[in-house]
Amino acid sequence: MVSSADLYGRGIGFPPRVGPNGQMQWSAGELNVRESICIILRTRPGERLMRPDFGCGLDRYLFEPNSVSTLRLIQEEVKTALARWEPRITLEDVVVATNPEDPRAVDITIVYTLIATRQRERVGISVALQT
């Protein structure tokens, strides 16, 4: 039987952390995919050496008004980045909404299907538009 680590690979955990043995923690399987999505969304293009176009560019919306048009632009940015950089998923939906507790932030919910197992998953992050 094939393990989820075989299907989806392994990578350094995100956020990077050190385990009790003093070594970097790794993630594998479905968790690796989830963490990869977060890495893509949190990385600014130009930030990664040897791959300057990697990432999503959500930081360009810092100081933009929290309006319907900004939410739509963020949604398209997320869809484009995930379609380009995460081949292990089929993107089902991206919902971007104003954070109800902080109007200076948006909540992004990504619904996706893991291609190898057809398992449906969801991940959410919050992004500040103003500091």
Contact call for residues 74 and 58 (beta carbons, < 8 A): yes
In this predicted model, what pLDDT tens digit does every residue of 14-41 receive, in sequence order? 778 888 898 888 888 898 999 999 999 9
Q: Answer yes or no: is pLDDT of 7 > 70.
A: no
Question: Please, are residues 125 and 100 in contact by the beta-carbon 8 Å criterion?
Answer: no
Q: Phi, psi (5° rounding) for residue 123?
A: -140, 145
- Determine which helix (DSSP H) or strand (DSSP E) holds 37, and give its type and residue range: helix 29-42
Dump pLDDT digits (tens) for 67-87.
999 999 999 999 999 999 999
Per-residue pLDDT reduced to its tens digit, 41-66: 999 999 989 999 999 999 999 899 99
Domains of the chain plus CATH, in order, are 4-128 (3.10.450.40)
The predicted structure's pLDDT at residue 58: 94
Q: Whole-model pTM?
A: 0.86
Query: How many Cα neighbours within 13 Å face the side chain of 106?
Result: 26
